Amino acid sequence: MNSAIYDIIVIGGGINGAGIAADAAGRNLSVYLCEQDDFAAATSSASSKLIHGGLRYLEHGQFRLVHEALKEREVLLGNASHLIKPLRFTLPHRPHLRPSWMIRLGLFLYDRLGKRETLAPSRRVLFDEHSPLKASIRQGFEYADCTVDDARLVICNLLAAKERGASLHKQTRCIQAKQVHGLWRCIMQETDSGRRHEVSAKALVNAAGPWVADFIKQQAQSHSPYAIRLIKGSHIVVPRLYDQEHAFILQNADKRVVFVIPYLDHFSLIGTTDVEYTGKPGRVTISAAETKYLLAVSNDYFKQQRTAEDIVWRFSGIRPLCDDESDNPAAITRDYTLTLDESAGAPLLSVFGGKITTYRRLAETALAKLRPYFSHMTNSWTRSTPLPGGDFPQGKAHFRQRLGEDFPYLADSLLRRYVDAYGTRCRLFLEDVNAIQDMGQHFGHQLYAAEVDYLVKYEWVNNVDDLLWRRSKLGLFMNAKQTQALQVYLTEQQKKQPS
């Protein structure tokens, strides 16, 4: 067993763990992060793909959370414009669900609770015969939020951490964490080989998401200060319901809302549900009842009707929310709680709850709690520093234009995807490309070996699921034969990687 000592060990490779690792590494701290699966394999790739304040949270009085999330929306829009895009949301008005004055008040607060620099204010809208909504729905409201590639946001934070010296390990599970002579000593086990190694640190950060309380109890042999509620959120993806580029937020009789969001040009993403979950977090799937619920809400509003046979993809995630004893899963706070256990000497910081929009601020708060233990910790830096790929000195549009001029033999749709996914980093795998033939093997749907090689070398890709469903969403387009050819290629590439 090899032994190494770090300032911080981070457990969990989702958005919160990745954000904390990046922030810490940029503050002159040595960081080790482990993830038992692929990075962003659980909750962080199963979100509604939104960076938003959470309009519906105002109804539950969560003003602090909405205020912070709206401020972070502006920060992230500036720092990760390759991954995050403004999106208009239309809220059809149905008087029997919520009165007009309530919606107007909510939107008034939403416009003013956060610093809104780039997004347009809310407004009332009228629907005509060209609306995709049923004819009985004649008016509504419109406001602005943002959409995000959630899994790639995690990867970009991990790239930022790696650039600053962090040691990152996927498919590695912490099976034991003990306090020894003022240090945390953790036994790590690789899930594929079973090999173990020991890592020590002055502080331990538990960002295990749905497993946060289990880690405290099982690996750290302690007691969790909070109970958590596991709330399942499920989504379905169907062929595009309408041609417009805006999203819809649909009210339902149970006082919940369901989003319908344009997705990958060809689809509509419909979600989410709020269902209490008691099973194993790693085995979550959408139920028949949830599928029926999402289809019913959509069909209640849109002229274009969908059935279960139209669904091209289903996914579910678990939100590990701090138990506030609410009877309604939808009303449980999405705010985060950080606890610092100093009882045994070396601190254990645990992350309960949180949402993807506030991950960066959560990381800052976590590092503030740990500051007393590290005299060499430098100041916060993430607010004004672009994430890897998000550094567009002359703007994203200018970069996209120059890319088209430099690579006229590549399809415009392909270059647009590259910029949206990788930002300026796409030049890493395009630098030696002088003709389409230089892109290497074509696996289908504009996926070339040049991109695959980059993902293996820089973004921890081991298999087709990593590549097709998290680093990209090309799995929605690839058939079984193409997927098999890609897996064969990845297997060969893995053999070439240094051990």
> Which residue has 């990687």 as its token pair?
497
Tokens, residue 263: 């997705």
Query: What's the pLDDT score for residue 498?
Result: 66
Classify residue 233 by its DSSP letter.
E
Query: Residue 1: its pLDDT value, please?
Result: 46
- DSSP class of residue 14 equals S
Contacts of 29 (CB under 8 A, 6+ apart): 7, 8, 374, 376, 377
Where on the phi/psi map is residue 30: left (φ > 0), alpha (ψ -120 to 50), or beta? beta
| Selection from 254, 185, 207 nearest residue 39 by Cα | 207
**CATH no. of 396-496:** 1.10.8.870
3-state secondary structure of 283: helix
| Residues in Cβ contact with 69 at an 8 Å cutoff, skipping those fewer than 6 apart | 52, 53, 54, 114, 355, 357, 358
Instruction: Tokens 């990152």: give the residue.
Output: 168
Distance, CA of 54 to CA of 67 (rounded, Å):
10
CA 159 to mean position of chain CA atoms: 15
Write down the CATH superfamily of domain 79-148+229-331. D-Amino Acid Oxidase, subunit A, domain 2 (3.30.9.10)
DSSP element (H, E) containing 139: strand 139-148
What was the pLDDT predicted at 323? 77
CA dihedral 66, 74, 93, 253 (to 10 degrees): -40
Q: What does the angle CA 138 – CA 139 – CA 145 come to, to the nearest 5 degrees?
A: 135
Instruction: Please state the three-class secondary structure of 373-394 as a single string.
Output: HCCCCCCCCHHHCCCCCCCCCC
Ramachandran assignment for 209, one of left (phi > 0), alpha (psi -120 to 50 degrees), beta (any other): left
For residue 493, give Cα distances in angstroms to 170, 281, 463, 465, 488.
18, 31, 10, 15, 9
- Calculate the CA 228 to chain-centre distance: 20
Which phi and psi angles does 381 have, rounded to 5°? -140, -10
Class of domain 3-43+152-226+334-384: alpha beta
Asked if 451 and 428 count as a contact pair (C-beta separation under 8 A), the reply is no
351 within 8 A of 336, measured Cβ to Cβ: yes
Helix and strand tally (H, E) in the chain?
A: 13, 20
What local confidence, expressed as pLDDT, does residue 273 receive? 97
Domain-wise residue ranges, the chain: 3-43+152-226+334-384, 79-148+229-331, 396-496
Q: What is the pLDDT along the chain (499 residues), one digit of tens a residue?
A: 456 799 999 999 999 999 999 999 999 999 999 999 999 999 999 999 999 999 989 988 899 999 999 999 999 999 999 999 999 999 999 999 999 999 999 999 999 998 788 899 999 999 999 999 999 999 999 999 999 999 999 999 999 999 999 999 999 999 999 999 999 999 999 999 999 999 999 999 999 999 999 999 999 988 888 888 899 999 999 999 999 999 999 999 999 999 999 999 999 999 999 999 999 988 899 999 999 999 999 999 999 999 999 999 999 999 988 876 666 776 677 789 999 999 878 999 999 999 999 999 999 999 999 999 999 999 999 999 999 999 999 999 999 999 999 999 999 999 999 999 999 999 999 999 999 999 999 999 999 999 999 999 999 999 999 999 999 999 999 999 999 999 999 998 877 776 5
Please report the pLDDT score of residue 253 as a whole number: 93
Residue type, 322: C
Whether 65 contacts 56, CB under 8 Å? no
Read off the DSSP letter of residue 302: B
Between β-strands 196-206 and 3-11, what pairing exists: parallel, antiparallel or unpaired? parallel
